[in-house]
Amino acid sequence: MTPLFIIPARGGSKSIPGKNIKPLCGKPLIAYSIESALALAPQSRVIVTTDSDDIAACARKYGVDNPYMRPESLASDTAGSREVMLDAMDEAARRGVDFDCVVLLQPTSPLRTVADIQAALDAYAPSVDMAVTVASASCNPYYDCFETGADGFLRVSKGEGLLTRRQQAPPAWQYNGAVYVINPGSLRRYAMGAFPKRVGVEMPRERSIDIDSPTDWIVAEALMGNRRGG
């Protein structure tokens, strides 16, 4: 396979100002994703798509010489990942870059490893729409995930609610945001939530932190420090 790595990084962040270039354990947050992508592909097949000159300068410092300044229409916090990726795919085509799958690496997953990315690439095939990293869900719809019924009372989301141990329930997974390996044709054809053929690639919860809040940042910093023995 010939993957195109896309790393989306807006300049604005309401929860953590300057998040994508804020230092985490000695390196800007986005640097972890850039270094992982460059471990698996030449920089010609790594597109950092951004609206920020500061992020573009950081990308150059860490090995992506030609970051892509996305159009203003994709610079707001309402721009969807799919639209950003389609735009980056078009930019790759303009640059004459050939690829047969797209790998989305969000900067907010700094604990993912190169091996995690490779595992998702290994799980992908042209016959599927996406291979995506997942973690064991924090709640299970057969056991401890509930919905409010029309009568106003809680009921278990799936099944009859008769299970007495979590181990009795079928495994449940949730996207962890770390790696998405996507069929380019499927991305042009479907919304990402409508992909009919998705393959899950399990990652441990300790590497599944998706930084979205100051608390997430503290947790990621602690886990990364422990991993380094510091």
Domain count, the chain: 2
Backbone φ and ψ for 107, nearest 5 degrees, come out as -60, -20
Give residue 228's pLDDT. Answer: 66
Same domain, 188 and 167: no
Who's near 36: CB < 8 A, 6+ residues apart? 105, 112, 113, 114, 117
Same domain, 145 and 179: no
Within a domain: 226: no
Within a domain: 199: yes
d(CA 137, CA 216): 17
Q: Determine the structural domain holding residue 57 and report its residue range.
A: 3-133+173-212
Within a domain: 220: no
Q: At 65, which amino acid appears?
A: D
Per-residue pLDDT of the chain (230 residues; tens, 9 = 90+): 899 999 999 987 778 999 999 999 999 999 999 999 999 999 999 999 999 999 999 999 999 999 999 998 898 777 799 999 999 999 999 999 999 999 999 999 999 999 999 999 999 999 999 999 999 999 999 999 999 999 999 999 999 999 999 999 999 999 999 999 999 999 999 999 999 999 999 999 999 999 999 999 999 999 998 876 54
Last residue of a domain, one of 148, 171, 194: 171
**Cα distances (angstroms) measured from residue 222 to each of 19, 90, 165, 206:** 17, 38, 31, 11
Last residue of a domain, one of 171, 189, 222: 171
Give residue 230's pLDDT. Answer: 47
Provide the token pair at 187. Answer: 């991305």
Question: What is the tens place of the pLDDT at every residue in 1-11?
Answer: 899 999 999 98
Within a domain: 192: yes
Give residue 15's pLDDT. Answer: 84
Give residue 229's pLDDT. Answer: 59
Same domain, 109 and 43: yes
Q: Give the up-direction half-sphere exposure of residue 200: CA atoms within 13 A in the CB hemisphere.
A: 13
Within a domain: 126: yes
Same domain, 55 and 165: no
Same domain, 187 and 164: no
Give residue 66's pLDDT. Answer: 94
Same domain, 91 and 191: yes
Same domain, 204 and 147: no
Within a domain: 222: no
Give residue 12's pLDDT. Answer: 78
Q: Give the up-direction half-sphere exposure of residue 89: CA atoms within 13 A in the CB hemisphere.
A: 20
Same domain, 69 and 180: yes
The DSSP element (H or E) to which 94 belongs, if any, is helix 81-94
Same domain, 157 and 207: no
Q: Whole-number mean pLDDT of the chain?
A: 95
Same domain, 95 and 204: yes
d(CA 45, CA 172): 34
| CA-based end-to-end distance of the chain | 37
Give residue 183's pLDDT. Answer: 98
CATH code, 201: 3.90.550.10
Within a domain: 219: no
Within a domain: 198: yes
Same domain, 72 and 128: yes
Who's near 13: CB < 8 A, 6+ residues apart? 19, 20
* The length of the chain, given as a count of residues: 230
Same domain, 160 and 198: no
**Cα distances (angstroms) measured from residue 94 to each of 100, 126, 128, 158, 193:** 15, 23, 26, 47, 28
